[in-house]
Structure 1
């Protein structure tokens, strides 16, 4: 089993509480680190999936080039280090930078700094040796500053389960969130003042992967999207971040659905818990959709008050011990769960993907035949079927990389988007009446019901879009 690193984000005031607890043993070695990150004015390195830093460690300068996970898969390794004698980067053939970007050296300039005090402990947990690093400091970008306090646990040798055992002992002493961003990512986001929502990133799958490795990569990608948006939500109640956090949870539950026959009973428990969080976020999202349509001041005031209350409930849930335990349990399960030895998941990911996509398509075709003759609840089920097919298509797209597959994927994706637009409009009509009733706004239900006049047309358009999708050539066949 490969080594696992785990990052925990904590509040600066809790760092001394952890140190004073003696959980990590005698006071660890302390060292100052100052890292300067370089890029071009138009951020070519970052956009290309790389970071470049020079770190001061006492009198030593260490230059490090790192490739993001999706970029690293193109090379034999994802990190290149060398000592340098100045604060000017050296671009050489030993890293991919020259091959990818050409003569980029003269265009590089310092863009942000990371200054931290790092304390290091070597901890024995069970039969494993774990290096624990506590970083406390600042990221400085232009005139902006962001405090950083995080713990990194790196398994040097032993069992990954011991790493999570130690993490749980830490969390029993101080509150912590699983970290999914590197310091470089934090710096770029600060540089761009990017406290906005994080959309789903392309899932980096390779044709020679097993289904088990593909699931692990997909699940980590979905979890990362959720954590990035959760971090924004816990700082400010962003409508976009809330929507994307909900999308991430839907994608995560779709991934569990696609692989559920081979994941064991844990998958059902996780899906149920993620449904709980998604439902609370959905309560807020439904109000946001309705607020975009309402113009009457009195009604807007009531809806805004309801949104504030619903958002408070959702944020409190995200901050709860239940949510923290869920995140830790799920992250451990991704890396160490018994599903990883399931024989069916040792099949090629491409073979698994074809079967999974066919299953999703058949289910959508079956349930979406007669939208005009079923009720809102059944149409909502069709909408969920369509989302599962769309997410599955996005998850597995990279496995089908020929030009023909690319053309077919584009047509299929466009058809899927049209289907979701029409089914989403129908769902908004159905849910708006329920939201108004829930919040005691019967006085405007009659007007909202008037919007139902165009429902037949929407159903007609949705059916036509569904029929067109089913006729569209499958990119995976």
Structure 2
């Protein structure tokens, strides 16, 4: 059997209420549509979700009189740009035809017996699709404007998205075309396939903030490919939570958005040896400015958690509403949406991928690069953390930043060191670095909270008893942080 066609597409999310604006913009830019389709797709899996856990989707799509069976290998979690092997074949009925040669892949890939008796319908999508075929920058691109719903047992979700599928040419043309449309209508980078949306709808709380997903790096990756996987995972983490934040600014969703951007900034620092070109530096500066938008809101959330006085709590809550309103306005602005698209374009086809000065480092195995990075930040933490208990608040904060980057590096690169001993050491290392970050984080929160509180209670003077209690609590945290530092310094390295 020959290899499957590789589908390459850029996915962009559209707010449902902006659907008519998007359609009008496409008409203005590209004229009458090439085609209209009403697509009803039914997705199938076993009761134990064998296909989904194996990264496979199986659907039967009804398009007029046609019935099309599709198998897709979902692969890694993507951010905007999706490249997936897929097999398509016309069939006669509404249920999967497992006699087709390609259907034999299901049992092989899922490592489970896939038969008609084991399959069930899990969700459906009902999509009105309008298509334009566009020639741009020497490429041929199919633009699909998809508007419809996903339905599973007892639940449904409205969706509207644009898909730019590359039919001929280079990926760079996808981003140029997307930026052109994004300049006239509000678009956001899409990070979930319809299959993933349907799976989330049927199995999880779609309104709950999401932590970062594990990033599985293969040892055969180059350093450049490893960075692309890590950056894509961070962007995906942010976008999954940004959609929730736009609906409700709860503290945990806001925190996860901030963490995602902080992880992405850390990745840019860790991979700085291959990101020295002007475009990378400029994007890093834009990302730093964007991440700073979340700082005030997160600081006031931390302070609110520590306040018991009802009157002060009410004042802080009102201030939080104002800060969150400013934040939502900022992330809804054109330049912020453009930043997310630019980040995906840059990681995929940016100038850093063709810089001669960094070519050798880009092409080296990711495992070698990871070991050097972990060694470098471990040495930096060991050096700066000496005499931690006697350092100033500012210098302890600097140690916290180094420790945070070391912790992120351990998360990013952890799967590269997969032996039994390495896994055990990594678990111990993560426990130690987490304990250090927890104590240093608490100290930083106390310092930041005290400064912020002065703006709301400028004349308040703590009693001697309260001051003594606060000093005692701080000293205990410093002592625990010093102990945690010694543990991190002395623990065996999982990457060696």
User: Counterpart in 2 of 1:318?
Assistant: 331
Residue aligned with 2:185, SS: coil
Superposition pairs for residues 268-287 of structure 1, below 5 Å?
268-287=281-300
Task: State the partner residue of 1:160.
Answer: 171
> Offset at 1:393?
0.8
The CA deviation string for residues 288-333 of structure 1, in whole angstroms up to 9 with x for no partner, is 2222222221111011111111111111111012201211221111
Asked if 1:253 is matched to 2:265, the reply is yes
**Pairwise mapping of residues 295-444 of structure 1 onto structure 2 (< 5 A)?**
295-341=308-354, 342-343=358-359, 344-440=361-457, 442-443=459-460
The secondary structure found in structure 2 opposite 1:366 is: helix
Alignment of 1:3-18 (within 5 A): 4-18=8-22
User: 396-405 or 61-70, which moves further after superposition?
Assistant: 61-70
Deviation at 1:71, TM superposition (A): 9.3
**Once the two structures are superposed, what CA deviation does each residue of 1:330-376 show, in whole Å capped at 9, x if it has no partner?**
11111111111231211111111111111111111111112222211
What residue number does 2:3 align with?
Answer: none
User: Which segment drifts farther, 56-65 or 77-86?
Assistant: 77-86
1:145 aligned to 2:156?
yes
Contact preservation (8 Å) 1:216, 1:335: yes
| Contact map agreement 2:131 2:144 (CA 8 A) in 1 | yes
Query: What is the DSSP-based 3-state SS (H/G/I as helix, E as strand, rest coil) of the residue aligned with 1:195?
Result: coil
Deviations 1:72-117 (A, max 9, x none): 9xxxx74344444333335542224675233565343222211001
Aligned to 1:113: 124
Q: Counterparts of 2:318 and 2:468 in 1: how far apart (Å)?
A: 23
| Cα separation, partners in 2 of 1:102 and 1:231, compared to 1, 3 Å | same
Instruction: State the match for 1:237 in structure 2.
Output: 249
Worse-matched range after superposition: 93-102 or 58-67 = 93-102
Distance 1:248 1:87 in 2: 41
The equivalent residue for 1:52 is: 58
Task: State the match for 2:484 in structure 1.
Answer: 465
| Equivalent residue pairs, number | 473
The CA RMSD measured in Å over matched residues stands at 2.4
Q: 1:17 Cα shift?
A: 3.4
Distance in 1, Cα, partners of 2:71 & 2:191: 19
- Structure 1: 4+ residue segments shifted above 6 A: none
Q: Aligned partners of 1:196, 1:88: CA distance in 2, in Å?
A: 33
Distance 1:45 1:238, change over 3 A: farther
C-alpha spacing 1:448/1:243, structure 2 compared with 1 (3 Å): farther
**How far apart are 1:53 and its partner, in Å?**
2.0
Greater shift after overlay, 459-468 or 404-413?
404-413
SS at match of 1:200: coil
SS in 1 for 2:29: coil
2:183 alignment partner in structure 1: 172
**Aligned ranges for residues 444-463 of structure 1 at < 5 Å?**
447=466, 450-463=469-482
Q: How far is 1:48 from its partner?
A: 4.2
| Structure 2 residue 93 is matched with structure 1 residue 86 | yes
Return the alpha-carbon distance in structure 1 between the equivalents of residues 250 and 468 of structure 2.
29
The answer to whether the Cα contact below 8 Å between 1:211 and 1:349 also exists between their aligned partners in 2 is: yes
Q: Give the Cα–Cα distance (whole angstroms) in 2 for the partners of residues 428 and 313 of structure 1.
A: 23
Partner of 1:28: 34
- Report deviation, 1:453: 2.1
Structure 1, unaligned stretches of length 5 or more? none
CA contact (8 A) 1:280 1:310 kept: no
Q: What is the alpha-carbon distance in structure 1 between the residues aligned to residue 468 and residue 317 of structure 2? A: 21
The change in CA–CA distance for 1:404 and 1:70 in structure 2 (over 3 A counts) is: farther
**Aligned residue in 1 for 2:81:** none
Deviates more, 1:63-72 or 1:158-167: 63-72
